[in-house]
Each structure stands twice: as C-alpha cells, then as structure tokens.
Structure 1
Amino acid sequence: MNKNSPHDVAEFDYVIVGAGSAGCVLANRLSADGRHSVLLLEAGPKDSNVWIHIPLGYGRLFKDKRVNWMYQTEPEPGLGGRQVFQPRGKVLGGSSSINGLLYVRGQHEDYDRWRQLGNIGWGFDDVLPYFKKAENQIRGADQYHGTGGPLSVSDWRHHDPLSEAFVKAAVEAGIPYNPDFNGATQEGAGFFQTTTRRGRRASSAFCYLRPARGRGNLRIETDALAQRIKFEGQRARSIEYRQNGVTRSARARREILLSSGAYNSPQLLQLSGVGPADLLKQHGIDVVLDAAGVGRDLQDHLQVRLVMRCAQKVTLNDIVASPLRSALAGAQYAAFRKGTLTIAAGTSGAFFKTSPRLATPDIQIHFIPFSTDKMGEKLHAFSGFTASVCQLRPESRGSLKIRSADPAAPPEIRINYLATETDRAAFIDGIRILRDILARPALKPFVVSEAYPGPDKVSDEDILDFCRKTGSTVYHPTSTCRMGNDPLAVVDQRLRVRGIEGLRVVDASVMPDLMSGNTNAPTIMIAEKGSDMILEDAH
C-alpha cells in the first residue's frame, strides 16, 4: 500500500470511505479509465486471513474481532430484552468477506416499489442492467443474467442428500420448484447460488479490488479509521482519518463517497455534524446540517431457526465430530475445491407466502445441513440440521445514534424486532408452514424429531415465545441514510446527500426500505449504478 507522510494533506478526485461490498465496486469503476485519482480508506486490514477465502470459513470469522466490528444492539424489547450480536466486516471486502455468500437479488416488486416512492431510475427494469453488468453467471447469460462481469455467481459444489430432500419436501407441501430465485420470479423452492469462484469466496475485494489495485491512480489505505468529514460551508471537502496512531487528512477535489454500510455511514455523518441537531449538540458536535433522517428507519431481517435431529450421519456435525471425516473433507477441498467446506449460509431454501392475500412471498427459508445453538459457535454433538424462517419485509423500524464524539466508540443500535403485529404473525405462520415441509415424506428418512423448539411447542403463544427467546439477525441492516424525496430522506435518487455538496452515500444504507432477500447482491448493484451516476456528473 502507498503511504503519505503524516504531515501531507493528500488530494484526490474521489475519496471513498469503506472498502466493503460497495466501496470496492466504486474504487474499480471510478479508477478504470485512468482519468480520476481515487483514495479508498478501509478501517480494517487486508483480506489475507485464510478463512476469508474458504466458503465455510464464515463460521470462523463470525466473532473474530480482527476482521469484524462485533457490534451489539441495545436490549431489544420484542426479544425479551436480549441484545443481538451484529457482525459486520472490518476488512477489505467488508461484509462480503465474512458473509454467508448467498446471491439473492430480491423481488422485482421491491425495486418497482422504490420507484413508486419517487426514486426515479430505481425500478426493476432500471436496475436489472446493473445486476447483469456486475455478474459472471456460471450458467451463462439470459434475460436476467450476465456473463463477463467481475462478480462470480456459482452453483454449490457439493452433493448433499439433506438439502435435496428439503427441496423435494417443499414441493410435496405445495411450493413450486424454482431453479432460479433471481430469474422471472422468486417464489418457490430450490438451491441458492453463491458468490464463489471455483470453490473460493468471491468477495467484492477479490472480484473488484484485486484487478484494480495495480492502477497508478488508485491508492488503497488499510487500518485507516475515518474520524470525520470536514466541510467548507455546505460542501464536503476532506476526510480526517487515523492510521497507525497518526491523524491524516485527504482532500477530495470532486466528491467524498461514503460506503461504510448501514451502521458506519450514518455514524460518520453524525460525527461530522450531519444528523439530528439535538443528538449532535448533546455530544458537543457543531451542526453542519440538521438532518433528522440520518440514522432513522433502520431495518433488518430477523431469523428464527428450527433444529432437527437427523436419523443419518450425513450432517456437518457428524463430519466435524470425526477426525477422519474432517481430514478427508479438508483433503477434498484442497484438491478439488469441493465438498463440505464449500457450504454457504444456506444450501437450499424456499420463498413463500404465509397468506393468499399477499402479492409476493413474505418468508424466506434458509436450509443448512448442520446445527448449533448460536451461529459461529460449536456444532451440536448430535446429528442435526437447521431450517430458519426469515420475514422478508418487516414493518419494525429502529435507529442508529452515536454514543459520543469518539469515532472509535460503537454506535447505539436499536432495531425493534417484532415490534408490530404483522411481524409477529408472519413468524408464527411461517414456522407452521416450515413444520409442514419438515414433516413431508421426502424428509422422513432423515428426521428423528424436532430438537428446537420441540414438538410440544404448538400454540401461537409457544411459537412466539420461542421467537422472542432465540430470534437473531440475518445480517441485513439497511435504510439508515435512505433515498427519497420526503423531509426525512437523507440522499436523493442520485445518492447525493440532500443539503450538502460533494458528498454521496453509496451502500445498503440508501435502500428506501429493506428488500425481500439477501443484501450483498443489491448493494453491489447500487454501487454499479452509483458509479455510472458519479462519472456522468463528472463531465
């Protein structure tokens, strides 16, 4: 990495804060033609940890503070006052370096809803070209998919009878088979595709940053914590960051681009004087812009996991418990990049409606051939597998606020899971439908019994109590700097911070609302589209 001396004020056309799913895309696209100088700042280290590149390695990184912000929510009222762990990537590639690798775009209707909210240019027909531009789809190009893009999208490289049985059981329960959750429709049961290339993780750092890192007009600085944005009047001019104990400054001739995610982007805005005035004054921060929407409307997907005892020793639990089988799995991966070490955070799954009155699915099921009490912790000693229920469009809204003027202090995160009757009912109905799937003939040879919550938990009250005691995040925070035209919108439809010049937010925080699926692919799409907007406005 290039270094500037502590006393330099380096100057670039664009300064990008955060080398995650979006920031790596921006760094690649904005530096591609050689006309613009670009600085990319990342608070974490290089992506050299070996577990980043092995798909199943996400279990090892879940609570590794070397590459993870390790955030926690405040006590959640809807979850019995429990705090919920919020892992976020703090490394080149950001959360795309530690996530569960699923490639899910969401429903066409999600983007059409964004457009209907007044965000012109963000309907499905508008964003599809950017999904295709990003993608290198292993199955080839078609109406919905692209090839030749940086982001490798692959099929799972392991034959698993349990995952196949789940899909068959879902079809037996009346859910249609769907070979492509990212095609004409999302609804149905099938297998997830993953952001992998030949059995290795395809993070945004691997796909976008590595091909660009040799460019003379791109500087990448790691272990560089952005502390605040400096303004001249209402124009963002420079970033102050701390690296190796030294405070440095980088000036942007054109624009500063925040790509630090749904937690760190609003945090940096608030630290810099852009946010709710009362909050900023409380912490002694001069108000540059009273923007009440910064940090509001936080949304996330909750998941509730059902654990089944398996009748056959075909689960990852069994492989990990056997030194010989573990060694064979390691050898298989080393030689062929196949096998159990390629397991993502969902192998097969389903999208379905809990009610016929709904236009589109409101529940996503993630199926995985292993089980544990908590993700990132030791697997169960018994043969077990997991199927989790995730409500796709929660009504519950939360907030993110700084706790102090210290940039290193973790923010206050409140998500308000299960705050509405709609959200609670969706989980009760979703779990009932999932139980129906798990009881179907295709899974009979594999099921001994339901370990959690257990067959005695049958009433609505029992199921909801289980949700409150065990529900956790699916790691999809969004919407804290949301795009729109209303008074609480933080950015406009070109991702420019409203009321400020020379400053954009380009990451999951700009989503007008939470989309119906996993957030990595849509965040990369946002950065692809944002890159075009930035370059258009540069002319």
Structure 2
Amino acid sequence: MTQTTFDFIIVGAGSAGCVLANRLSADKNCRVLLLEAGSDDGDPMIQTPGLFPQLQDSAYDWGDRSMPQSGMNDRRIYIPQGKALGGSSSINYMIYMRGNRGDYEHWANLGNAGWGYDEVLPYFIKAETNLAFHDAYHGQSGPLIVSSHVQLSPVTQRYLSAAQEVGIAYNPDFNGERQEGCGPLQRTIANGQRCSAAVAYLHPVMARPNLTVMRHAHATQLLFNGSRVIGVQYLQLGVTESAYAGEVLLSAGAFRSPQLLLLSGLGPAQELEKTGY
C-alpha cells in the first residue's frame, strides 16, 4: 500500500471534478490529486456525437438501474452514469440546458446564500463560449463550447409548427430570459465532436506538474483522524492504495458520493445500523 500527500483530493472526474481540478491546480502552490474510477475518454465512441446510443451499458457506463417501478409494470429504468474522464458528460446526449430560475430562487429562499439565479448566472456565462447567441445571458470566452443545430430536419420543423398551432410559443433560446415554449435545443458539440467537461476543463491542464490524474482508481473509503476526513482509500487495478490531503472533495455523482459516505460510516443512523456501524 502506497501513501501520498496532497493539498486537495478530488473524488470523481465528472462534470464537477474536472472543473475543480482545473481551478484548484491553477494555484501552482497546490498539489491536486484527481481520482477517477473509470478510464480515459479518448475512445471515438465517446467523442463522436452520433454514437452516444452505443455508450449505454458500455465500459464507460456504470450500468445503473432504478428500483422496480410499480407504475411501469415493475420495470427497472436505465439511469446513465458515466465511468470515464468527464463522467456523465462523456456519455450523455450533449443537450445544454441550464436549471430553471425558479429552482435557484427556491434554494436561495431556503437560506442558501449565493444560490439565487442572478447570482449564479455570471458563472454560467463564464463557463461557455456560445456560438449562436451573443447577449446578456451568454458568454463568449469560456471553455465549454455551446452550439446550435445549423439546420433542423423537416420532421423537427413540422413538430415545432404543430406545437405553435396549439398555442405553445416559439422560444429560440431555452437558456435565455425564459424557458417556456418550443424550439431547438443547444448542445455541447464543437467542430463535430463532444465537448465534455473533460475536453473543456481537464485536458487543457493535464500537463500541470501539480495535478495528478489517476484513472481506474475506485474510491472505497474516506480516512479519518478523529472526526476530520484526512484522506481516501481507493482500489486501483486490484491494489489497495491510500492518499492524504488537507481537503477531500466528493464529486462522484448523485449516487456514488453518498455511497462513499455510507461506506465510510457517514449517513442516516438507521441505514448504518443495518451494516453494523
């Protein structure tokens, strides 16, 4: 078992982890370790937009399913979760749509300072280079390339016309002033290739000497000194390793971040008691 020390350990190289790795390693005085359970993202199947259906249940997908759904004849629904650099942004359908203004305002009203829509909008703008829209809602110098369909298919055009005939207003930009309506979607595609979080944020900084990216490194447990998290234990190609840091950031997704917490003894008491904690 080897041990290494960093200033920051980031668990998960998905949409959040790639951004964290980029921003934190910009400080040359910080040593950053990024752990990714999956592999690299160079496979043409990932980078070619039209091949996204082949990514379901591939080596780049965790293969998750929901619990049986009583309202759907007990079917278990496919839940895509990326397992590669870029995480789910490396296997998704590349549709670019921001959260709704009402959701952000609700979170702010619950007491989460700084989460109002007008407060997060500058970060959306900072993140993108939008090739189609140049206004107060879009950026022109960010790492994430956002494009629009150059030409809609005849079927799509008829679909949008039908929607308008029944009173649904046309909306050319679902990331602008309003989200209601019908219209074409924006996408994270640049020069005919997927623009994932890894492409936008991680690949440009991979050569930084203070950034270490470990693939096939599956985090299995958080390490503690008393009540403080000081490191991560992970399994890499069948070998148990550990790394330590001043701060550990979990960005392993909606499922595997809480799973890692539970495996480490953090979570609802009734859940932990079932495992003997």
TM-score (norm 2): 0.97
| 1:276 positional shift | 1.3
| 1:51 positional shift | 1.0
**1:83 aligns to what?**
76
**1:151 aligns to what?**
144
Determine the C-alpha separation between the residues in 2 that align with 1:98 and 1:30: 25
Question: Secondary structure of 2:126's partner?
Answer: helix
Determine the C-alpha separation between the residues in 2 that align with 1:13 and 1:33: 11
- Pick the aligned partner of 1:43 from 37, 44, 50: 37
- Pick the aligned partner of 2:202 from 197, 204, 209: 209
Identity, in percent, stands at: 49
Determine the C-alpha separation between the residues in 2 that align with 1:249 and 1:117: 38
**2:167 aligns to what?**
174
Q: Is 1:273 paired with 2:259?
A: no
Q: Is 1:194 paired with 2:187?
A: yes
**2:253 aligns to what?**
261
Determine the C-alpha separation between the residues in 1 that align with 2:251 and 2:159: 37
Q: Which residue type is aligned with residue 278 of structure 1?
A: Q
Residues 156-201 of structure 1 show CA distances to partners (whole Å, capped at 9, x for unaligned) of 2454111111111111111111110010100111100001111210
On the 8 A contact 1:157/1:199 being kept in 2, the answer is no
| 1:278 positional shift | 2.4
| 1:78 positional shift | 2.8
Runs of 4+ in 1 over 4 A off after TM superposition: none
| 1:49 positional shift | 1.6
Residues 214-249 of structure 1 show CA distances to partners (whole Å, capped at 9, x for unaligned) of 000100000000000011111110100000111000
Determine the C-alpha separation between the residues in 2 that align with 1:183 and 1:101: 18
The answer for unaligned runs of 5 or more in structure 2 is none
**1:224 aligns to what?**
217
On the 8 A contact 1:135/1:145 being kept in 2, the answer is yes
**1:33 aligns to what?**
27
Matches within 5 A, 1:401-412: none
**1:161 aligns to what?**
154
Residues 91-138 of structure 1 show CA distances to partners (whole Å, capped at 9, x for unaligned) of 111000000110000321111111111111100011001101111111
**1:138 aligns to what?**
131
| 1:73 positional shift | 1.7
Q: Which residue type is aligned with residue 274 of structure 1?
A: L
Determine the C-alpha separation between the residues in 2 that align with 1:117 and 1:195: 32
| 1:77 positional shift | 2.3
Question: Secondary structure of 2:233's partner?
Answer: strand
Determine the C-alpha separation between the residues in 2 that align with 1:74 and 1:111: 29
- Pick the aligned partner of 2:103 from 86, 99, 110: 110
**2:229 aligns to what?**
236
**1:69 aligns to what?**
62
Q: Which residue type is aligned with residue 4 of structure 2?
A: A
Determine the C-alpha separation between the residues in 1 that align with 2:23 and 2:138: 20
Determine the C-alpha separation between the residues in 2 that align with 1:154 and 1:266: 34
Q: How many residue pairs get matched?
A: 277
On the 8 A contact 1:107/1:186 being kept in 2, the answer is yes
Question: Secondary structure of 1:165's partner?
Answer: helix
Question: Secondary structure of 1:190's partner?
Answer: coil
Question: Secondary structure of 1:144's partner?
Answer: coil
On the 8 A contact 1:17/1:260 being kept in 2, the answer is yes
Q: Which residue type is aligned with residue 108 of structure 1?
A: R
Give the root-mean-square deviation of aligned CA atoms. 1.2
| 1:143 positional shift | 0.9
Q: Which residue type is aligned with residue 102 of structure 1?
A: I
| 1:87 positional shift | 2.0
**1:9 aligns to what?**
3
Determine the C-alpha separation between the residues in 2 that align with 1:156 and 1:43: 33
Residues 134-162 of structure 1 show CA distances to partners (whole Å, capped at 9, x for unaligned) of 11111254211111111110012454111
Determine the C-alpha separation between the residues in 1 that align with 2:23 and 2:222: 23
- Pick the aligned partner of 2:54 from 51, 60, 65: 60
| 1:82 positional shift | 1.7
Q: Which residue type is aligned with residue 63 of structure 1?
A: D
Q: Which residue type is aligned with residue 100 of structure 2?
A: Q
Matches within 5 A, 1:374-393: none
Determine the C-alpha separation between the residues in 2 that align with 1:164 and 1:33: 48
Q: Which residue type is aligned with residue 44 of structure 1?
A: G
Question: Secondary structure of 2:139's partner?
Answer: coil
